[in-house]
Amino acid sequence: MPSVVESDALDFASLIRPGDLVCWGQASAEPLALTSRLMAQRARIGAFRAFIGISLSETTDPAHADHVRFSSFCGTGTNRRLAAAGALDILPVHYSDLGKVLRETVDVLLLQLAEHPDGGRFSLSCASDYVEGLATSARVVIAEVNRQAPFTSAEIDIGDIDVIIRTDRPLPDMARAAPSEIERGIAANVAALVEDGATLQFGLGALPDCIADLLGDRRDLGLHSGVLSDGAMRLIECGAITNARKRIDRGLSVAGTLLGSRKLLAFAHMNPSLRLRPIDVTHDRESLAALPAFTAINSALEVDLSGQINTETVGRSYVGAVGGAVDFLRGARASKGGLPIVALPSTALVKGEARSRIVARLSGPATISRADAAIIVTEHGAVDLRGLSLQERIRKLISIAAPQFRDDLMASAGSSTP
């Protein structure tokens, strides 16, 4: 059984060795009482490494990099401060591989747990994703049992925990950003593609939530996603998502992480229709292919005229991720009636000047290869690249670029697609 200590008596220097890799849950799953104390004691521990997911907290202050080497799969949320300071190393792996990589490297795991109202049972609360597997592989597991954390299906054996502290504090959450008119236009074009009975996967941000808000009139939708957001919650609440047509997890909405508002966290508490599952389940390509009309809806930073897609960098700034986009797009390709969708605004504002996001050549990495590209959507329409030659793709992609850039794109097309 774990040792139970007071939070102000927790001595990380006795548990963490110099050079260790420490990992904790992302977004609302971050055990803030533990991570704040860890950062306060970092000098006493000595140099160590920390792997972080999506961050919503102040843990990612660049000042903490004096003793901590931060790494992540993403530059999302407050991670951007570390990236801007040159203090964030990126692990460029498909999300489906992340759990395995971390199980082989993480030494110390910090968790936020919820205790069942009847006592004696514990859950991982806001995230199963990559932390569930680490609970049995890490050398040391330290848990914060937070009275305000929602109890979800991701239960954990308390015998896997070494040290426990108890807290009663609000969780970090992510407020919804109001969608722009352009995002509403993109959302309308995506929503027009989604039919009754489809199983949905939503990516991150205001755009997927805006798309979800246009699907309330659909029937018997399913949900199998890396994240459960407010948009998906509203579809469950209005009855559009029932999961009735899924062959696996029938009647259940499946996700890896809760990412949204406090209303979403309250919605997930003791909710029998939700299942939080690890990456090995949420991103398993065979399972995705078996879902009816699996519809993967992801975003991007830019798309070139051959269909290559950058979801990671803007200029020299790392702001996105490799993430699960390729996993989900390939799953949607293999699903009967599946839709592999990447949606983005046709332009970005850079130093007050509009620039096309449909480009002759990418300015960053080709996160998604042109062989994996399929349906691309902007506010100007949707095109399906599957089965098209390079020259056919050029014409299709220029047709959904911002009109003021189409002539220049056509002029540069001859040298853009080797």
Mean pLDDT of the chain: 96
**What digits encode the pLDDT tens for the residues 170-199?**
999 988 778 899 999 999 999 999 999 999
pLDDT of residue 206: 86
Q: Strands 381-384, 358-359: parallel, antiparallel or unpaired by DSSP?
A: unpaired
User: Do 411 and 300 meet the contact criterion of CB atoms below 8 Å apart?
Assistant: no
Between 204 and 191, whose confidence is greater?
A: 191
Name the amino acid, one letter, at 305. Answer: L
Does residue 417 register a pLDDT over 60? Answer: no
Determine the pLDDT at residue 415. 57
Helix/strand/coil (H/E/C) assignment for every residue in 125-175: CCECECHHHHHHHCCEEEEEEECCCCCCCCEECHHHCCEEEEECCCCCCCC
Contact by Cβ (8 Å): 202, 225: yes
Return the pLDDT at 176. 77
| Beta-sheet strands, E only, within 253-328 | 253-255, 257-258, 274-276, 294-299, 302-304, 309-310, 313-314, 317-318
Enumerate domains of the chain plus CATH numbers: 3-167 (3.40.1080.10), 181-415 (3.40.1080.20)
pLDDT at 328 (0 to 100):
98
**What integer pLDDT is reported at residue 142 of this predicted model?**
98
Backbone angles phi, psi at 226, to 5 degrees: -70, -35
User: What tokens appear for 137 in the block?
Assistant: 């592989």
Instruction: Classify residue 404 as exposed, middle or buried by CB count within 10 Å of its CB (0-12, 13-18, 19+).
Output: exposed
Provide the pLDDT for residue 416.
53
- Is this model's pTM higher than 0.75 or not? yes
Reported as a single tens digit per residue, the pLDDT across 317-330 is: 999 999 999 999 99
Q: What is the pLDDT of residues 46-60, one digit of tens each?
A: 999 999 999 999 999
Residue 127 to residues 11, 91, 370, 394, Cα–Cα distance (Å): 25, 20, 32, 41
Task: Count other Cβ atoms within 10 Å, centred on residue 10.
Answer: 19
Q: What is the pLDDT of residues 76-117, one digit of tens each?
A: 999 999 999 999 999 999 999 999 999 999 999 999 999 999
Percent of the chain with pLDDT over 90: 94
pLDDT confidence of residue 120: 87
- Distance, CA of 384 to CA of 397 (rounded, Å): 9
Instruction: List pLDDT tens digits, range 330-385.
Output: 999 999 999 999 999 999 998 889 999 999 999 999 999 999 999 999 999 999 99
- The tokens for 86 are 């040159």
